[in-house]
Copies of this chain bind each other. A is one copy, B any other.
Amino acid sequence: MATGVWLIGARGSVAVTSMVGALALRAGLAEPVGCVCELPQLRGPALPGLSELVFGGHDVVTTPLSKKAEALAAAGVLPGRLVTALTDELHAVEDDLRPVPEGDRQAEVAAAMEADLAAFRDRHRLDRVVVVNVASTEPAAAPHPAHDDLAALVEALAAPGAVLPPSSLAAYAAFRAGCPFVDFTPSTGARLPALDELAVRERVPYAGSDGKTGETLVKSVLAPMFAMRNLAVRTWSGVNLLGGGDGANLADPAANAAKAASKQRVLGETLGYLPQGTTRIEYVDDIGDFKTAWDLITFSGFLGTPMRMEFTWHGCDSALAAPLVLDLARITAAAHRAGRGGPLPELAFFFKDPLGAGGHSLAEQWAILCDLVRRLGTGPR
């Protein structure tokens, strides 16, 4: 199953780490550490193979892929030897990257995007193309009446002016081109009634939002632990120090608020009450691509005895995110092949702010994911 992976934000850290990694795995230069789909529970013929993935994408900047890859190697995100070894492969991918189309009317922009997707599919004779949003997090989008109804949306897009934020326009273009859409960011993406209507109509699946890679991942196992033991969490307060491109963007309070809220949601929903405390995000240039998060949890046990736990997480966000991007592309492609359209809430395992009303316990999400992949393996092609 030759599968295209079209990355919105294709020259960013997550995108380039994903591409270098997939190329390295194909070339036998690395082990699939961090690739969930390579675990015994998920591996199988239902999913496209890692070597069947073909990359392309949009970005607003023009930094050459090889330069970005070198920067990531210098920062310790990638081994430099891989970048050297994969120079040719990266140059080949470069040919499949396109600038984000521009235009006065968003309908034109979307049409140009669709054309880029179709050309990519044809050029490489792909069975399907999955669009994955790994662009910079947007500020929260302004509401617009056309968001709620597909017909109204089509009409509004044809007029001048911005109706959809970029992430949602990308989803719109993807759906119109018959491509599944995955939102790895906290941006709006496909989460508008009009876009859901389109995805369902076109029978293309979509997944999101906001890849779960660090502190929230830890929360999604620790919060259930406190809940299962009936311990009363009093305070859960955390700070995330991060640098890199994404960090600078999140220092923008508007983007920050969206992200912080999705980080705290897991607690309320898992515990059944919201402990005191907040999650703060702070930009520290020197931290670079390695994030340090510290969380303090105070809780009381039997007869009120006060206790505490704290943890420090020192993770490389791009290295944690990249294999999940590959996983998501593969599973979403398989879901598309199996005839699924509309939201894929079964992928909550991967997201901080998952679609649907399921729980936030990682273990439950894992069971649901395993079940989905098993069914995809036996379902209709």
> A residues engaging B (CB < 8 A)?
17, 20-21, 24, 30, 32-36, 38-39, 76-80, 82, 217-218, 220-222, 224-225, 228-232, 234-235, 237, 239, 241, 276-278, 280, 282, 284-287, 290, 292, 294, 296, 298, 300-305, 307-316, 319-320, 322-323, 349, 361-364, 366
Contacts and interface: CB of A to CB of B under 8 A. Distances in A.
B294 A285 contact: no
Contact of A302 (B34, B80, B285): B34
A39 B230 CA distance: 7
A315 to B, nearest CB: 5
16 contacts: A33-B231, A76-B76, A78-B303, A82-B303, A221-B363, A224-B362, A237-B284, A239-B239, A278-B282, A280-B280, A287-B298, A290-B307, A292-B308, A301-B315, A305-B319, A307-B315
Contacts of A218: 222, 225, 309
Nearest to A233: B286
A36 B229 CA distance: 5
B363 A224 contact: yes
B230 A241 contact: no
A234 B278 CA distance: 26
A190 B228 CA distance: 27
A294 B296 contact: yes
Nearest to A236: B284
B231 A34 contact: yes
Given A229-B36, A286-B234, A311-B311, A323 B304 contact: no
Contacts of A277: 241, 282, 284
A228 B224 CA distance: 16
A79 B74 CA distance: 10
Contact of A224 (B221, B229, B314, B315): B221
Contacts of A312: 309-312
A305 B235 contact: no
Contacts of A38: 230
A222 B362 CA distance: 11
Contacts of A286: 234-235, 276, 298
Nearest to A37: B230
A310 B290 CA distance: 15
Contacts of A35: 230, 302
Contact of A314 (B280, B309, B361): B309
A359 to B, nearest CB: 11
Given A76-B305, A300-B33, A312-B310, A282 B237 contact: yes
Given A235-B284, A237-B284, A322 B302 contact: yes
Contacts of A276: 284-286
Contact of A294 (B36, B239, B314): B239
Nearest to A241: B237
